[in-house]
Structure 1
Amino acid sequence: MDIVSYEETVIDVQTNGEKVVNMEFHIGWLILLTIIGAILGGGTNIIAIHMLFRPHRAMYIGSYQIPFTPGLIPKRRNELAVQLGKLVEEHLVTPEGIQKRINQGPFMNDLETKIQQLLHDFLHQELSFDEWLKTNTNRSWSVTTIKDAIRNGLYNKLNGIALRYQSKPLEEIIPPEWNSRLEEYIPRMTTTILDKVEVYVISDEGRGKIDEMISRFFETRGSVGGFLGRMVNRSSLTSIMIKELTKLLHEDKTKELLNDWLKREYHQYLKKSPDEILENIEVSNKVEKMVDLILSETPIIRDLERPMKEWAYQYEDIIITSIVPSFMSEVTKLLEKHLKNTIKRIGIRNIVEEQVNTFPLQRLETILILVAKRELKMIAILGALIGGLVGLFQGLLIMIVL
């Protein structure tokens, strides 16, 4: 090998070596830039996620507030609370949604079943209602206080009515439809009276009374009357009197006279006031006795001091099968009618705003991170992937340029 060939070979080896070294250098930079890009991309996303919550308070250098402090959510907490309250009230917890849930869901049926079970247990307990009241109201209520309250209420009501109407004529007190009914009943009363009189007249007691009246008639007429009484056959005279009285009772004129008389007396009676009818009677005493009679004869009030299982079962069927369903129906109607206004009065928006503003930020951060842990991790990985791709792209551009 000559000297020229040797030199060319040495130069060629040196050139290839430099190329290998340059290639390794570029690949190293490419990997390094990719790693740096991935770290920056993922780290930036992690920092951004934490900056949603942190720092919780504004930070200062002297009087200068450091940018991005506090975090986004602490900084915008009041605005977030307002928007969440508005969202919940207008779109989430709406009267229409609640009403739909009540009507279509099992809520009302479950509530009715629960009430029926509670009432069943209540009505079959060993305690009396008096004992139950004393136990559950710290002895502030008892059957005695209930009775006194009912007695006072009834007495005040009835006595007030009596005092209000005692000086007014009956025609102003009795409702017009009652008055019409009573007047329509007078002809029937006339017929009934005449029929009763006829039955009495032809009965043995009536015959005896008429015979007695005839005897007394002759005895009060002196000796002549007594003589005539002995001469007359009283049995025949009694039969004649009964026959004539019966004939008189069947005449239309008798019925007309009695009917007119009853109407006249009825209209005169209507012009009188209760004071005139019940003269010399103390109304308050009568009302008090009436109230005591009502309380003593009302079954539930009378049994309140006995064990409930001994008497309450009588009312269980009507309470559970009639009263409770009717009560639930009325509750549903009331909900339909007043639910919207009730929700507005409750102020769900204000409740949400208050809860959001007072909820601890650290706890909120922990909850959100736990709930969205997988998604947040994917965001960090995606940031690292994008950063790595950007670093790789930059490395390739550098290799091309160099």
Structure 2
Amino acid sequence: MFIRGMKRPLNRRAYNGDQGWGIIKCKSQPFPPILDCPFCITSVAVLNLSNLWLLFLPPIAGGIIGYFTNDLAIKMLFRPYRPIYIGKRRLPFTPGLIPDNQERLAKRVSDTIMGSLLTPSEMQRLARRLLHRERVRGAILWMLNLTLQQVQLDKEQKTAKILAAILHDLLGESLPRLLKVLARRENFLEAQLNQIFDQILLEFQLNEQQAQQLSQWILQVALPPDVLRQGIIDFLTDRNIQIIDEGFREKTSGTYWIVANLFGLRNTLTRLRTYCLDEKEETNARLKELLTALGARERLQIWLQTLSLQNLPVSTVRQLRKTMRDAVRTYIREQGGEFLQGLSQSIDWEKVAVLILNRLRESAIMSSSMELISQELALILERYLEEDLEKLVTQVIPILSIDQLIVERVRGTSPESLEVAVKVIVKNELQAIVNLGGILGVVIGLFQTGLILFRGF
């Protein structure tokens, strides 16, 4: 067959199914073939369908190999899990690479994590995030609420017993020792005692009812007629009678001097003493009548109503205040400890503790103040951590022994578990690498197919 414009037929190189690649000649002319003539339109390439696998096998095989290589590599790292022996000799590469070097791997993992990830600066940053003010406040509030709930649910009164022991030790042991030391100071309780003296004692004054009750108590209980009679007897001793008689004789004048020197007081006072001793009932009756006649109760009541430290001179008031302050300080220094110990022994502290806890349980202030307490404690902790966080982290890292913990965890994990963990990571997080391996395998296979076609032509 001739091509228009050409004088001789052309030949075309094509694929002959049984004989491979060869030359298909133009049947109309016996001229020598022209290899790969681009103008030959009578030649037809014949392809045997049984040899298509030579073209499709490389990309398919490359894709399969590339896709499953990662899983195979992981298995080769871990398998076999244990050494295999033939006789007494261990087969090479058994166990797998990772099981055989698991201890060294654990050390490397620990060094990598502690050197690159959990550095002191990173630990400080984590500590700041963990100890954020709101988190700390929430934790403290949770602990306070939990403590309050435990106190409310305490059926065996354990909390009450602990609180009772604390109160007993505080009042009976700690406070007395503290007071003995503090009472040696000159200004101990000075402001408090001055305030008590100025606001209570200095302004204290009995009203009419109080003065009446006090005067009645004085005349009926403190100084009844029998007590007055006994006081007269005790006062009129022989010596006192002699002193009174001599003084009366020496210091009187005029008519009184004549009476004192003629009659004297010795016999009169002696007879009065004898009468008080012999006639008790009559003496008491006479004294009672005398007090009533003299209006002793009314006079005493009026005197008590007018009694006030404000009526005294300022210098006297100041001296009284200083005297009271010194007396209180001396008493506390010398006998305050014994007084507090005796007071502590006389108090049933368990009942006091139960009362305090019951009051706390029922108090609405406790529930409302928890938020404020937790906030203040969180602020205090934050200020402390701002100053000493670096020092604390430096001290905490050796205590936690994170590197040793990592080594022990990696060393204690079985090879099977490590393999499963790596496979899960590859499957969930590194699936793109697996897919990329399959794609690269297909690309390489296509490249090989192209080489086959190129060499065939």
Task: Pick the TM interval, shorter chain.
Answer: 0.5 to 0.7
- Aligned partner of 2:56 among 17, 24, 31: 31
| Residue 318 (structure 1) shift | 2.9
From 175, 179, 185, the counterpart of 2:187: 175
| Distance in 2 separating the partners of 1:272 and 1:105 | 51
Q: How many residues are matched? A: 342
1:89 counterpart = 2:118: yes
1:363 positional shift:
1.6
TM-score for the superposition, normalised by structure 2: 0.51
CA offsets 1:237-270 (integer angstroms, 9 cap, x no match): xxxxxx9xx99x9999x61563365367458758
Secondary structure of the 1:76 match is helix
Contact map agreement 2:202 2:310 (CA 8 A) in 1: no
CA RMSD in angstroms comes to 6.0
State the alpha-carbon separation in 2 of the partners of residues 115 and 84 from structure 1.
Answer: 37
Amino acid in structure 1 at the alignment position of 2:364: D
Name the amino acid aligned to 2:111. Answer: V
Shift of the alpha carbon at 1:44?
3.5
Q: Quote the residue 2:373 is aligned against.
A: 326
Tell me if structure 2 keeps the 8 A contact 1:53–1:365. yes
Structure 1 counterpart of 2:168: 151
2:164/2:353 contact within 8 Å kept: no
1:369–1:376: 8 Å Cα contact kept in structure 2?
A: no
Distance across 1 between alignment mates of 2:95 and 2:350:
81
Distance 2:119 2:343 in 1: 57
> Counterparts of 1:47-86 in structure 2 under 5 Å?
47-56=72-81, 66=93, 69-71=96-98, 74=102, 76-86=105-115
Cα distance, 1:115 vs structure 2: 5.4
| Aligned residues with identical type, % of pairs | 15
Contact 2:164 2:352 in 1 (8 A): no
Q: Does 1:46 align with 2:71?
A: yes
**Structure 1 residue 290: Cα displacement:** 1.0
Unaligned runs of 5+ in 2: 1-10, 22-46, 220-231, 233-243, 249-255, 269-292, 295-301
Give the aligned partner of residue 451 of structure 2: 397
Cα drift, residue 71 of structure 1: 3.6
1:291 to 341, 344, 356: 344
Cα displacement (A) at 1:113: 5.8
Q: Does 1:366 align with 2:417?
A: no
CA distance in 2, matches of 1:68, 1:108: 53
- Write the distance in 1 (CA, Å) between the matches of 2:407 and 2:350: 58
Deviations 1:174-225 (A, max 9, x none): 535x3366568878889658x779x99999969x99xxxxxx9xxx989899
The alpha-carbon distance between structure 1 residues 60 and 44, as it changes in their structure 2 partners (threshold 3 A), is farther
Quickly say closer, same or farther: Cα 1:362–1:16, change in 2 above 3 A: closer
Q: Deviations over 1:316-369 (max 9, x none)?
A: 423322246414642564367457626534344443443233223312322332
1:41·1:384 contact (CA, 8 Å) conserved in 2? yes
User: 2:424 is aligned with what amino acid?
Assistant: L
Distance change >3 Å, CA 391–CA 303, structure 1 → 2? closer
On the 8 A contact 1:56/1:70 being kept in 2, the answer is no
What is the CA–CA distance in structure 1 between the aligned matches of 2:403 and 2:160, rounded to whole Å? 45
For structure 1, which segment, 85-94 or 149-158, has the greater mean C-alpha deviation from structure 2 after superposition? 85-94
| CA shift in 2, pair 1:327/1:151, >3 Å | same
Within the alignment, does 1:160 sit opposite 2:177 as a pair? yes
C-alpha distance 63-51 of structure 1, shift in aligned 2 (>3 A): closer
Amino acid in the other structure paired with 1:354: E
Q: Give the structure-1-normalised TM-score.
A: 0.57
Superposed, which structure 2 residues align to 1:2-401 within 5 Å?
17=16, 21-22=20-21, 23-24=47-48, 27-56=52-81, 66=93, 69-71=96-98, 74=102, 76-86=105-115, 89-90=118-119, 94-97=123-126, 99-100=128-129, 103=132, 109=138, 112=141, 116=145, 119-120=148-149, 123=152, 125=153, 128-130=155-157, 133=158, 147=164, 150-152=167-169, 154-161=171-178, 164=180, 172-175=184-187, 178-179=189-190, 182=193, 192=203, 255-256=313-314, 258-259=316-317, 261-262=319-320, 265=323, 269=327, 284=338, 286-296=339-349, 299-301=352-354, 311=358, 314-323=361-370, 325-327=372-374, 329-330=376-377, 333-334=380-381, 337-338=384-385, 341=392, 344=397, 345-373=399-427, 379-401=433-455
Seen in structure 2, the aligned counterparts of structure 1 residues 387 and 59 have a Cα distance that, compared at 3 Å, is farther
Counterpart of 1:151 in structure 2: which amino acid? H
2:340 maps to amino acid? V
